Amino acid sequence: MASKASAVWTGSLKEGKGTISTATGVLKNANYSFATRFEGAMSGTTPEELIAAAHASCYSMALGAQLGGAGLTPESIETHAAVTLAKTDSGFAVTKIALATAAKVPGASKEAFDKAAADAKSGCPISKLFANNTEITLDAKLV
């Protein structure tokens, strides 16, 4: 299975602008620009915001799978991801992804939940994508 998206950019880096669309139509001509990415403008998205959404959703699914494998059914899993883009010696890079998740899992012990959370972090395909070049932290809470 291949997920597909496209991006169009016009103009120079600082003055230009672009749009991002997904094949499913969930994103259709979503704006992005230098100002949204580097200056905090709120009028569009950024590649890092999209990575954060991808990682949060992937991790939540991976945690659900780990819990299910342990015979536990989560009532809810809410994950937030913060992706840090920083200037490094070799240029800009995603240097850190901080995951924070809170899950309501009836019957789960802290030990079983902590194991599932850690296994989900290492098993999530988006975590694997960044594992060897980005610091990934996890704050997992059983609520």
- Domain total of the chain: 2
Are 115 and 63 members of one domain? Answer: yes
Tell me the per-residue pLDDT of 1-58, one tens digit each, with 9 for 90 and over.
899 999 999 999 999 999 999 999 999 999 999 999 999 888 899 999 999 999 999 9
Are 113 and 59 members of one domain? Answer: yes
CATH of the domain at 136: 3.30.300.20
Structural domain boundaries, residue 76: 47-142
Are 75 and 116 members of one domain? Answer: yes
Q: What is the DSSP letter of 3?
A: -
Q: Please list, residue by residue across 18-35, b when 16 or more beta carbons sit within 10 angstroms of its beta carbon and e when fewer do.
A: bbbbeeeeebeebebbbb
**Distance of alpha carbon 41 from the chain centroid:** 20
Are 133 and 75 members of one domain? Answer: yes
What is residue 110's predicted lDDT score, i.e. its pLDDT? 97
Q: What is the model's pTM?
A: 0.93
